[in-house]
Amino acid sequence: MSRANLLPGTQHDAVVSALYNAADAAGWNDLTPQERTRLYRQWVEDPEIGGILARFMTPETARSWIKDGPMKEYANASRGTGRYARFGRVGGTSADDVARAALGVNATVVAGSQKSKPHRCLVAVDSQQNSFVVWGSPDNLRNLLWAALRAEVVDSTPAHIVILEPPGQPTTASERKMHRALANRCRLPLYYLPEVLGVVRGRGTAADATPPSSRDVLQVSDDA
């Protein structure tokens, strides 16, 4: 039996919800590896998490299940995507927002083209050739560049990269300089978009999260 099927549905949902609530409260994205390790240990001992898991697996297996299952998907769920999306956030920056940031207000995501790892899609603008748009965090730039280059070379599709800046974490001037040099070397347009993470499901409404406007978008790799 796979790890994903170790828990009955009700217990599985209760544990994932408790994990994500705890991760949100702890500021998971800002934690060091050492702090995350301590949290894993605490969660295994938490009655609402490890206490439930202990009915179905050993503590060692429980830790692996937490780390390689729900928490591996936490970043995606926070953006309303992936297999744990229903436990994450809603109303944040969407693929449509990213598409418009790269290609203007008339850009629309081609139905069925959105994928993850990294996040990417095809975008249509009026009657022009479809474009490839890939987006993610600054620390994932290597994968964004590779995906964009592959689209250009293998699929002959114009590609665009959008770097999302999480709330309160603007990209530094030195980082942007490096990003710009890499994108220009690859002859790829690159943009920055302030990210809206949305609201935690059950703690507000989608109206509480206002997507960034086109005025918030900064393109940094136009010139050579």
Among 18-32, 42-56, 86-100, 182-196, name the one with the lowest average pLDDT.
86-100
For residues 195-216, average pLDDT: 54
Fold entry, domain 95-219: Trna Endonuclease; Chain: A, domain 1 (3.40.1350)
**pLDDT band at residue 206 using 50, 70 and 90 as cut-offs:** very low
Total-model pTM? 0.71
pLDDT digit string, tens, across residues 148-175: 999 999 999 999 999 999 888 889 999 9
Q: Which residues are within 8 A (CB) of 63 and not within 5 positions of it... i.e. 6 or more apart?
A: 40, 41, 44
pLDDT digit string, tens, across residues 60-105: 999 999 999 999 999 888 877 788 888 987 778 889 999 999 999 9
Average pLDDT, the chain: 86
* Residue ranges per structural domain of the chain: 3-87, 95-219
For residues 25-47, average pLDDT: 94
Q: Are 85 and 76 in contact (CB under 8 A)?
A: yes
